[in-house]
Structure 1
Amino acid sequence: MIKGSYGYAGQYQQRPTAREGGLFKRQWFEGKIIPQAPPGTRWVRHWGLAATKKTTAARTAGVKLGKAPVGSFVVGHVVTTQDEGNAVRRLVKTTADMDGTGVMMSLPQDPGQAGKAPAKDYVSMLAGWTVKADPETGDKVTRAEPFSSQCEAATSYLVQGAWNEAYLDELCLLPGGAFKDQMYATSGAFGRLVGNRQSQTTTSTVKGLY
Structure 2
Amino acid sequence: MDELKGERCKRRFYFFFLEFWETIEAVELVPNWHIEAVCDELQEVYEIWKRGESQPDMLINIPPGSSKSTMVTQLFPAWLWVNEPSIRVISNSYSSTLSVGHAVKTRDCLKSDKFQRYYPGLIEFKHDSDGKSAFKNTRKGERFTTSTGGTVTGVHGDFIIDDDPLNPEMAESEVERNTANRHASRTLSTRKTNRNRTVTIRVMQRLHEDDPAGRMLKKKRKPRHICLPGELTPNAVVKPERLREKYVDGLLDANRLDREALAILAEDLGSYGYAGQVQQSPSPEGGGQLKKSWFKKITWPEFLEKTKGMQLDWQFDADTAFTEDQKNDPSAFMSSVYIPPLLYIRNVAEEWLEFPQLKKRLPEFCLQNGYGPRSKVHVEPKATGKPIVQELRSIRELNFVEAPNPEKSKRVRVNGIAPFCEAGRVVLIDGAWNDMFLDQCAGFPMATHDDMVDDLVQAVNRANGKKKSFGYA
TM-score, normalised to structure 2's length?
0.37
Deviations 1:108-165 (A, max 9, x none): 2236xx974432212222x233332145323223222233221211222100001000
Which residue in the other structure is 1:18 paired with? 284
Which residue in the other structure is 1:64 paired with? 335
Q: Which moved more, 1:167-176 or 1:99-108?
A: 99-108
Within a 5 Å distance, the mapping from 1:46-57 to structure 2 comes to 46-54=317-325, 56-57=327-328
2:457 to 157, 176, 187: 187
- Say whether the 8 Å CA contact 1:57–1:178 is kept in structure 2: no
Where structure 1 has 5 or more consecutive residues not aligned to the other structure, the ranges are 199-210
Within a 5 Å distance, the mapping from 1:121-140 to structure 2 comes to 121-125=391-395, 127-134=396-403, 136-137=405-406, 138-140=408-410
Which residue in the other structure is 1:106 paired with? 378
- Say whether the 8 Å CA contact 1:77–1:163 is kept in structure 2: yes
Length, aligned pairs only? 191
Within a 5 Å distance, the mapping from 1:166-181 to structure 2 comes to 166-181=436-451
- The structure number with the bigger radius of gyration is 2
- Say whether the 8 Å CA contact 1:6–1:17 is kept in structure 2: no
Which residue in the other structure is 2:24 paired with? none
- Say whether the 8 Å CA contact 2:322–2:358 is kept in structure 1: no
SS in structure 2 of the partner of residue 74 of structure 1: strand
Letter in 2 for 1:100: Y
> What's the CA shift for 1:11?
4.8
1:33 to 284, 297, 319: 297
Letter in 2 for 1:26: K
Separation (CA, whole Å) in 2 of partners of 1:85 and 1:170: 24
SS in structure 2 of the partner of residue 124 of structure 1: coil
> What's the CA shift for 1:55?
5.0
Letter in 1 for 2:380: P
The structure 1 segments of at least 4 consecutive aligned residues displaced by more than 6 Å after TM superposition are: 2-7
> What's the CA shift for 1:56?
1.7
> What's the CA shift for 1:195?
4.2
- Say whether the 8 Å CA contact 1:49–1:108 is kept in structure 2: yes
Letter in 2 for 1:35: T
Letter in 1 for 2:432: A
Deviations 1:20-73 (A, max 9, x none): 2101112223xx2101344245432100001433352411000112211x4111
Letter in 1 for 2:363: K
Where structure 2 has 5 or more consecutive residues not aligned to the other structure, the ranges are 1-263, 469-473
Letter in 1 for 2:455: A
Separation (CA, whole Å) in 2 of partners of 1:27 and 1:146: 18
> What's the CA shift for 1:8?
2.2
Q: Which moved more, 1:99-108 or 1:156-165?
A: 99-108
Letter in 2 for 1:129: L
Letter in 1 for 2:398: W
Percent of paired sites with the same residue: 19
SS in structure 2 of the partner of residue 161 of structure 1: coil
Shift in alpha-carbon separation, 1:82–1:11, aligned structure 2, 3 A: closer
Separation (CA, whole Å) in 1 of partners of 2:291 and 2:385: 35
Letter in 2 for 1:17: S
Which residue in the other structure is 1:44 paired with? 315
- The answer as to 2:274 corresponding to 1:8 is no
> What's the CA shift for 1:192?
3.0
SS in structure 2 of the partner of residue 132 of structure 1: strand
Letter in 2 for 1:44: Q
Separation (CA, whole Å) in 2 of partners of 1:6 and 1:149: 24
Higher RCO by CA contacts (8 Å cutoff, separation 6 or greater): 1
Shift in alpha-carbon separation, 1:86–1:21, aligned structure 2, 3 A: same
- Say whether the 8 Å CA contact 1:65–1:186 is kept in structure 2: no
